[in-house]
Structure 1
Amino acid sequence: MAEISRLPGPQADRWDWQYEGACRATGPETFFHPEGERGARRRARDAAAKLVCSGCPVLEQCREHALAVREPYGVWGGMTEDEREACYPRRDELAS
C-alpha cells in the first residue's frame, strides 16, 4: 500500500509535471501488471513501459515521486516495483 503520509500537499503546481508525462498517451495496462502476471510476459510488459518512460520529459520527477511515496505498483519513472524496492534501504540510509 502506498505511504500516503509522504504525499505532497494538494497544490496543483506540485503535480503539474504529470500533464507532460509520455504515459498519458498509453493505457495503464502497459504500466500496471494484471494479477498473476509472471515470467516473460511480465518482462515484456515492463520493457514496453520502460520504453515509453525512456523518452519522457518528466522521467526524473516521476521517479522521485514514486520513490518518495514508495509507490508499490507499476512502472514509474522507468523503474519497476522491484527496482524501486531495491532503492529504499539505500535511500533510508542516506536520509538518516
Structure 2
Amino acid sequence: MGFFSKLFGGGKAPQPKEVEPVEYKGFLIYQEAIAENGQYRIAGRITKDVDGELKEHKFIRSDVVGSESDANELMLNKAQMFIDQMGESIF
C-alpha cells in the first residue's frame, strides 16, 4: 500500500522547516533555501507589518549552490540589498 500512497500523493506532506527570521531595518527576512537535486536554490521571504497588516514578498532565485547554509547566506545578502534599494515599495 505504501507504493500506491507515494505514487498518488497520499500520506503526509513534508512539513516546512521553522525558520528564525533576521531583522533588518524593520523588515523580517526568512531564509528558506529549497533542496533541489543535491543542491540548494536561493529562496526566502521578506515581511513587514505595515499599518497593522503583515505584508510579504516571496522570491525564488535561479541561483543554486552546494550547501543550504551558503544558499541562506546569499539569500540574506540579496534580501538586504533589495530592502536598501526598494524599501517598502517591494510590497
> TM-score if structure 1 supplies the norm length?
0.24
TM-score by length of 2: 0.25
**Structure whose alpha-carbon radius of gyration is higher:** 2
Structure number with greater CO (CA < 8 Å, separation at least 6) is 1
Structure with higher strand content: 2
